[in-house]
Amino acid sequence: LIMAAFVTITFTVGKPLLEFVSDTEKFRLWVETQGFLGRLILIGIMCLQVVVAIIPGEVIEIGAGYVFGSIEGMLLCLAGAAIGSAIIFLFTKKFGIKMVEAFVPRDKINSLEFVRNSKKLNLLTFILFFIPGSPKDIFTYFIGLTSMKLHTFLIISSIARIPSVVSSTVGGNAIGIKDYKFAIIIFVVTAVISILGICIYKLILKKNNSEKPK
């Protein structure tokens, strides 16, 4: 039922929102007429993206950079991500692994068991959220299964998200000021770093899961 509701939200709300944000010039003109409300709406869109993990966040972050600039766009995205993460965390604490399995396959959950059982839970959480290209949406659902407190999780994840979010908002801002060459450089560098990050993430999983007692 939860998954069906989220899929419905994705196609009835998320898809139109993404299309709206993707039309950056139209989005910018609309935000300018909304004043502070436009910023609250962007936070809400980012929150929805984190909760409904099917929706890609990069498009929203680029749109935020285009409209609000690198720094303000980053801060608004981080605020939305923190609110969305808190919602997921609290739901996961209440409903447990059944809630997580609605979005994350059991084998993915099992591959992260070393995080839950680690004495370095905070450090590992920071590293996994910090690595570019890592599946942060999966971690967000998983962390609620650990002993970590909500405020600790929000501080760690928000700080660790900064590099990946700011790279998108900087690229979006470059498009906004029509510095297309710089925007291409940012996106290419981000793509390369993300590929390396995915490789590092897989190595971490492989190393830690191979050390599990048999």
Beta strands per DSSP E along the chain: none
**Cα 10–Cα 12–Cα 18 angle in degrees, nearest 5:** 60
Residue 204 pLDDT: 81
Note the pLDDT of residue 81: 93
CA distance 162 to 159: 6
> Closest Cα to residue 115, out of 99, 135, 133, 95?
135
> Would you state the pLDDT for residue 53?
62
Contact 5, 99 (CB under 8 A): no
> At CA 100, angle to CA 167 and CA 75, rounded to 5?
25
| pLDDT for the residue numbered 73 | 92
pLDDT at 141 (0 to 100): 84
Give the pLDDT confidence score for residue 151 in this predicted structure: 93
**pTM for the whole structure:** 0.82
From the first residue on, what is the mean pLDDT of each consecutive set of 10 residues in the chain (214 residues)?
71 70 74 82 86 73 88 94 92 82 76 76 88 81 87 93 91 88 90 87 78 57
